[in-house]
Amino acid sequence: MLSIVHRNIGWIEVICGSMFSGKSEELIRRLRRAIIARQKVAIFKPKIDTRFSDDHIVSHSELKIPSKVVESAWDILEQSLEAQVVGIDEAQFFNNDLVLVCQKLANMGKRVIVAGLDQDYRGEPFDPIPQMLAVAEYITKTHAICVICGNPANYTQRKTPNKERVVVGAADIYEARCRNCFEPPEESKKEIKLSAGNRGKAQETSK
């Protein structure tokens, strides 16, 4: 991070990775330091994620920090006008307006720290994190440890057969896996095969 910071310059930091990779821990660490330095801090999480608490962000290792629950990205804009630092957890549960809101906050001179899952249970990019990465000044990719082989884990394995994109849960439903040990669900295996086939065709026709 910058060691010299000029007044009134805002920016966006993104912390992303799989479940259990330490995104919330890292977000809480950064926000605590800002609070210690007596900066005005506003912290938010989406209404959908009230797994452990509805008035705190809580990590899987039970670190916690008070936060407000909001229904939409625009609530964050309204409620952080006074803040110097804005923290947002579980950002993948907001829609793409979150990118616009974070840009506005950064343009107003605020430090915006966004944590979220970058891939869903199928290994597909999880909006709006990819769009947020494109406009962020700083990106931190966190890794868990693969529960099968111990390598760095970049995937979230769903242990139940649900096909909805959002199924809220923790170690009861999900586990961290590396690229080798991740088993994509049947529906996305077919998609990967299909697109590999198409790529072959494209190469043939371009010869």
Tell me: does residue 59 bind ligand ADP (CB under 6 A): yes
Catalytic residue among 13, 90, 164, 183: 90
* Contact with Zn ion (CB under 5 A) among 63, 145, 173, 181: 181
In 3D space, the residue among 15, 49, 21 whose CA is nearest the CA of residue 176 turns out to be 21
Query: What residues from 129 to 188 belong to the interface with ligand ADP (CB under 6 A)?
Result: 144-145, 147, 176
- 43 is an interface residue for ligand ADP by CB under 6 A: no
Separation of alpha carbons 172 and 159, rounded Å: 8
Closer by beta carbon to ligand ADP, 54 or else 191: 54
Residues 6 or more apart whose CB falls under 8 angstroms from that of 147 comprise 153, 175, 176, 177
90 is catalytic: yes
* Residues 6 or more apart whose Cβ sits within 8 Å of residue 157: 121, 174, 175, 176, 177, 181, 182, 183
Smallest distance, Å, CB 178 to ligand ADP? 10
11-17, strands of its sheet edge to edge: 68-70, 41-46, 85-88, 111-117, 11-17, 138-142
Q: Determine if 21 is a binding residue for ligand ADP (CB under 6 A).
A: yes
Judged by CB under 5 A, the chain residues 35 through 54 that form the site for Zn ion are none
For residue 46, which of 87, 85, 94 has the smallest C-alpha distance? 94
Q: Rule CB under 6 A: say whether 45 interacts with ligand ADP.
A: no
- Residue 77 or residue 117: which is nearer to ligand ADP going by CB? 117
Q: Note whether 32 and 71 are within 8 A (CB).
A: no
Binding residues for ligand ADP (CB under 6 A): 17, 19-25, 59-61, 144-145, 147, 176
Binding residues for Zn ion (CB under 5 A): 146, 148-149, 151, 178, 181
Annotated catalytic residues are 90
